[in-house]
Structure 1
Amino acid sequence: MPAFTRVLARLRALPRPRGLARLRGPGRPRVLARLREARDAHPAAARGLRRTVHVLAAVLVVGALLMPNTAPSLRPGGFTRIPAEAIVGAVVLLALPRRPRVAVAALYGAAIGVLTVLNLLDIGFYEYLGRGFNLVLDWGLLDDAQAYIEDSMGRAAAVAAAVGAVLLVLLLVVVMALATVRLGNLLARHRNRATQGALIAGTVWITCTALGVQIAGLPVAADRAAETAQGQTERVLDTLRDEAAFAKEARKDSFGATPPDQLVPDLRGKDVVLAFIESYGRSALEDPLMAPGVIDTLDARTSALARAGYRARSGWLTSATYGGSSWLGHSTTLSGLWIDNQQRYRTATNSDRLTLTKAFQKTGAWDTVGIMPGVQKAWPEAEWYGLDRVYDAFELGYRGPKFSWSTMPDQYALEAYQRLEHGRGHDRPLMSEIILTSSHQPWAPIPEMVDWEDLGDGSVFDAIQKAGKDSSDVIADADESKEEYGRSVQYSVDALTQWLERYGTDDTVLVFLGDHQPIARVSGHGADRDVPVTVVARDPAVLEKIEDWNWTEGLRPAKDAPVWRMDAFRDRFLRAYGSVPHPTGNKG
């Protein structure tokens, strides 16, 4: 024992490392010493500052616990409620000794920070896609969001947004943890009063719950954070359960075993064009700011096509997506499956499901072509869709400027289709899928129609693009976003119907529709998911086949025209044109 005492004495006699000297004892940093001096010299100001920090920490934590997950719910009344999670947290922290209390408070605060991030993600997803954030499926869409910002506002803005988002997440989690630790220490220093306050708050919460007390239409007793955690958990569980159920559903196909000679026999010899217009939704025809111009365009183009010998019928489809994720709308329309998330999309595209385009390919009576100006990377889905040849953004010969996200104007894409496929002459008719992207957000700058003879390689659009509006200005103004969105839809409809008027024949059948409604700030919060769908042809027999659909005559569907779910279109179309169902996958 004496030997141990001597060793300990020698260790104590050793000089301290500088770092430790700075952290402990009389050698602590000068900054901390000056702060203490200032606090001692101005006790009232220090006390006021300390109380202010306490209040800010409480406001931050309570505000996070009450934070809603939709933009319309972000109103002052929503933050005047009593959060059950704050009461429970206070009770737990009061019951713990110092070290466990600090650890639990930090973890609790970090968890609140994570829930706040999830609420912010929900707000963004509801604004753009009309649904909440899915923890299982939606991380890949964040990359798409960055790419969209880069295309719309430049690479610097995209990098800044990505870095800012990461820093915001880290800051929220760290600051929330520090705030709860501070509040936990405050509760411990005033244990008696804090215990009484927690008891009173709990009694008030229970009483308000029992009586249903409300302020501004909201219950005073709140459990928002628990609702957020429960909602996210249920989404994850629903997603996991849905995977197996949807795979089974995808195997059941009414036309999966139909022989080639019994698929679309009533369209033999026709060139069938199926075109999707980006974000072409019901709002374009009904919103007071957008509708007048769009309706005028649809009516004018109906008359122009009639003079060229074409007739049209129009109705409504309810899209599987909203605000974005266009591929979900495309795949739903063509597969007859309700594909409303990325997991379903992956399952469907890895199945043997007969798509509408593949039905034409399977007959051997059509060549199938895809015009995809929005595709800028490998696209293996082409085989599932049944497309013999796909032209992506780099294969259409365009040398002009991009129009924000859209790689090329719709008019050019249609002229390239005419040059490369439709006007080239084939031994068999064409079944073509065309994606038109000029009406993709942010709707600035917007192309303008030019003389078809002047399109060339697209360089003619340089001056139009430079003279167009700046996307950042349009994004910042909701009304201007609506107006420019309406103009972009007018442009897309003009380009498509002028192409038909110019290049269509007696054997051309055009089917065009929107893939989804525009984002909520344009279509309106709570807007439906309906999109217009139209069939145009010169041959009267083509429209006679769909007479019992009761669609509206012309390019503009009546407000009360029939509304189908988008996944119903494939089967209705196949049946209308003579296809005979031969189901697969009904066993097991």
Structure 2
Amino acid sequence: MTPGPRHHARNPRGLPATVLASSLRVLALVLLPLLVLNLLLGFGNHWPTLWPRLEWRFSAELAVLVVALAAWVGWRGRAGRLLAGLSMLGTAWVVLHYINVTVPSIFGRRLNAYWDGQHLWAVLRMSGEGAAGGAYLRLALSLLLAMVAVGLLYAIVRLCLQGLAHAAEHTAPRRTLLGLGALGCALWAAQPWQGEVLRPLIAPPVSSLLAEQSRLLSLALSRSAHGEQLGPSPAFAGDVDALEGSDVLIVFAEAYGAVTLDKPDIAEPLAASRARLAAGIAASGRHVVSARLISPTFGGASWLAHGSLLAGIDTRDPGDYPLLLTTRRPTLVSHFAANGYHTVVWTPGIQRAWPEGAFYGFHRIADADRIGYLGPHFGFWRIPDQASMALIHHQEFGKRFPAREGPQQAGAGNAQDGAKGGAEDAADDAAVIAGEAAVRIRLATYHPDRARPSDADAASMAAAMAASVDASPASLAERIEAARASRERRPRLVVFPTVTTHAPFRAIAPFTDDWSRLLGHDAYSADELAAAEGVPVRWSDPTPAYLAAMRYQFDWLADYLGQHAPADLFTIIVGDHQPIGSVTGPGQPWDVPIHIVSHDRSLLARFEAAGFVPGLVPPDTPLGPMHDVTPLLIEAFRRGS
């Protein structure tokens, strides 16, 4: 007679041997899927690269998933269609965890998906055009590999969850899963009482990231919330007579952060360049005072710093900036314009329409296509900072550089070249006049009592004025001379956000002591361009390129301020933000240096009284947030302050 189930051999505990073997096998299968899933949800970032790093932390969210899956299978007997949904959710969770640990490491700040997502394509273009040839092909291959990786990740997650679901069909493994999951949930809940011990053991939860992004999205879409957050503007009142009609240059030095002073591996390689800048300032008879400010941004979003300083508004919340642009609040730009200054923003980094610029009320907006740069393009940012400064000096300060004698400049060909250059200057002046006509119509209506013309009306008026410029050579010549005379009579406020020190910090044009060369087509030779673009972009190790870009920035500033700048030029050099986190390292403050350079000691003394110190090395303690310096500038520029 065939024996029934009760006649199977039993172990000492009374369980059938086949049942025990099956249970041990299922328990073994439970541990491997849990380990794999926990690794996928607990890894960290291998700074300063994009690669993950193995970290032994447990995921509280995995514990919740295990409890839910085990309870569901215990109730329904099998996972069924739930398995596919959980696999897709688990894959998305792993990808979000990667973003959650990588973005703060690389960029030095938390993700803001609503605002950062709007610039994703620009970042991809910058990554492609800032590298050597074939970069777009490599970018396409990287995206393809990313899709393959996500597909492989889905397969791994589904296999692990399938193993857990199968194990949960048996009583003992299901109880084990419920116990392990409950223990993980309890440890996560105990953090408020044992945070110092438990927090390093728990992976950062993705749910917190999603909750934070939901909050930020709600704020971004809620104008009423922003209206409550946007603080009062400074009192833009009084004169700027303490400047005595000096031209004012505000240089927003891209990615010039306090890391250049605080981190020895960055500060020491830049010490010689900083010393040359100090020597150049001193040799010109100027003096410099410095301080630290807290930037409203880190690693990017430079416009938040620009708006903070120029408008005197706290823009740490990115949503406050677009709201600010919808207002008619006064700015340093409108303040200078009201006091007789011709205001200019020199933005070689703007390569598209910039309607936001209308808020500031600049008389002239000189973007990448309107500054008159004729030389070759260097990488994504196209126009080297030294060339931009040369064009400002020539077009806005009305100065000319002494030509350097060289093989191409000697001989009888100079007269012909000079005639050609004169024709090009005339054409450039004509373009400036026509452009400024449109700019004035569109932008000089910052006063709250004036109605801003529509786009169609502005375009029609600009076309009519441009046509009048081209009416006749005589009329054109008269307008050029009138415009030049007008520019000479009115002092300048020039705001210049630099670009060469922007990530990925390549390609870097060579510094040249022949500034006059930078105004023409032969600004740089083909060999110089090839050498600059031949240096590869390395996002995983950008520090050497950052150091090279910062040396370049110190060098052209030192030479310009030491040799060429107008004697009475009042210069403000302020970092817009720290460089990206892959340069700074984790946990760096948001501090940036600010330097004020002038020949007027009495004017600089006003800033020293507010906490600035002589020299290029500011105190370790920041004065405060960037927008706090705006009322200080207003007060310092007022006569009799």
Pick the TM interval, shorter chain: 0.7 to 0.9
The residue that corresponds to 2:586 in the other structure is 525
Output the amino acid matched with 2:70.
V
Contact preservation (8 Å) 1:336, 1:568? yes
Map 1:407-556 → 2, pairs under 5 A:
407-423=382-398, 425-450=487-512, 451-455=514-518, 456-457=520-521, 459-468=523-532, 470=534, 472=536, 474-476=538-540, 478=541, 481-554=542-615, 556=616
Rounded to whole Å, the distance in 2 between the matches of 1:580 and 1:337 is 26
8 Å contact kept, 1:285–1:291? yes
Equivalent residue for 2:321, pick from 330, 345, 362: 345
How far apart are the structure 2 equivalents of 1:567 and 1:385?
A: 16
Given the alignment of the two structures, is residue 179 of structure 1 paired with residue 241 of structure 2, yes or no? Answer: no
Distance across 2 between alignment mates of 1:178 and 1:291: 49
Q: 2:302 aligns with which of 326, 345, 353?
A: 326
Find out whether 1:310 has 2:286 as its counterpart: yes
Q: Please say if residues 74 and 174 of structure 2, whose CA atoms lie closer than 8 Å, have aligned partners that are also in contact.
A: no
Distance in 2 (CA, whole Å) between partners of 1:70 and 1:118 is 17
Q: Is the 8 A contact 1:280 1:517 kept in 2?
A: yes
Partner of 2:420: none
CA–CA separation in structure 1 for the residues paired with 2:306 and 2:148:
36
C-alpha deviation, 1:311, in angstroms: 0.7
Q: Tell me the TM-score normalised to structure 1 length.
A: 0.79
Corresponding position: 1:389 with 2:364: yes
What is residue 149 of structure 1 aligned with on the other side? Answer: 127
Structure 2 residue runs of 5 or longer lacking an equivalent are 1-25, 399-483
Which residues in structure 2 correspond to 1:27-42 (within 5 Å)? none
Any conservation in 1 of the 2:234–2:312 contact (CA below 8 Å)? no
| 1:183-332 aligned within 5 A | 183-188=163-168, 190-202=169-181, 204-205=183-184, 218=198, 222=202, 224=203, 227-241=205-219, 243=222, 244-250=224-230, 252-255=232-235, 258=237, 262-332=238-308
8 Å Cα contact 2:325-2:356 kept in structure 1: yes
Q: Give, in angstroms, the shift of residue 567 of structure 1.
A: 1.6
**What CA distance in whole angstroms lies between the structure 2 residues aligned with 1:274 and 1:404?**
25
Amino acid at match of 1:92: A
**Is residue 105 from structure 1 mapped to residue 165 from structure 2 by the alignment?**
no
Contact 1:400/1:462 (<8 A) preserved: no
Structure 2 partner of 1:39: none
- CA distance in 2: counterparts of 1:305 and 1:81, whole angstroms: 56
Distance change in 2, residues 1:263/1:106 (3 Å): farther
Supply the distance in 1 between the matched residues of 2:96 and 2:639 (Cα, whole angstroms). Answer: 47
Amino acid at match of 1:454: R
2:347 pairs with 372, 382, 388, which one?
372
Please say if 1:78 is aligned against 2:60: no
C-alpha contact (below 8 Å) 1:135/1:236 kept by paired residues: no
Contact 1:70-1:123 at 8 Å conserved across structures: no
CA apart distance, 1:488: 1.2
Is the 1:442–1:471 contact (alpha carbons within 8 Å) kept by the matching residues of 2?
A: no
The letter for the 1-side match of 2:64 is E
Contact 1:373–1:392, Cα closer than 8 Å, also in 2: yes
Q: Find 1:116's aligned residue among 75, 90, 94.
A: 94
SS in 1 for 2:503: coil
| Equivalent position to 2:626, from 553, 566, 579 | 566
CA contact (8 A) 1:550 1:562 kept: no
The equivalent position to 2:117 in structure 1, one of 118, 126, 139, is 139
Q: How much has 1:489 moved relative to structure 2?
A: 1.1
Structure-2 change in CA distance of 1:580 and 1:237 (3 Å): farther
Conserved? CA contact 2:283–2:562, under 8 Å: no
Q: 1:131 to 1:148 in 2, by over 3 A?
A: same
Task: Report 1:58-69 matches (<5 A).
Answer: 58-67=34-43
Letter in 1 for 2:492: L
Structure 1 match to 2:458: none
The secondary structure found in structure 2 opposite 1:431 is strand
The total of aligned residue pairs comes to 518
- C-alpha distance 175-333 of structure 1, shift in aligned 2 (>3 A): farther
Name the residue aligned to 1:12: none
TM-score (norm 2): 0.72
Mapped partners of 2:592, 2:200: distance in 1: 40
Distance (whole Å) between structure 1 residues aligned to residue 510 and residue 559 of structure 2? 13
Deviations 1:116-142 (A, max 9, x none): 222222334213432222343332132
Preserved CA contact (<8 Å) 1:279 1:439:
yes
Identical columns (%): 23
Other-structure match for 2:413: none
Deviations 1:322-348 (A, max 9, x none): 111211221222122222354222111
Amino acid at match of 2:539: I
Amino acid at match of 2:250: L
| Counterpart code for 2:80 | V
Q: Secondary structure at the match of 1:422?
A: coil
Matched residues in 2 for 1:157 and 1:276: separation? 33
- The residue type paired with residue 583 of structure 2 is V
Q: Which has the higher contact order (CA 8 A, sep 6+)?
A: 2
Rounded to whole Å, the distance in 2 between the matches of 1:434 and 1:372 is 6
| Cα-to-partner distance string for 1:418-459 (whole Å, 9 max, x where unaligned) | 222221642210000011111112223322211213323354
Describe the superposition over 1:497-537 as per-residue Cα deviations: whole angstroms up to 9, x where unpaired. Answer: 32233332343100011111111121111111111101111
- SS of the equivalent of 2:207 reads helix
Post-superposition Cα deviations, 1:70-92, rounded to whole Å, max 9, x if no partner, equal 96996544346774224313323
Q: CA deviation at 1:490?
A: 1.9
In the alignment, residue 116 of structure 2 is paired with which amino acid?
Answer: D
Shift of 1:371: 1.0
Q: In structure 2, how many angstroms separate the alpha carbons of the residues matched to 1:579 and 1:179? A: 75
Give the 3-state SS of the residue equivalent to 1:102 in structure 2.
Answer: coil
TM-superposition CA deviations, 1:372-415 (whole Å, max 9, x none): 11110001122112211111112233343433332121111111
In the other structure, the counterpart of 1:13 is: none
Q: Determine the structure 2 residue equivalent to 1:577.
A: 637
> How many angstroms apart in 2 are the aligned matches of 1:297 and 1:530?
20
Q: Deviations over 1:56-83 (max 9, x none)?
A: 7544433334345896996544346774
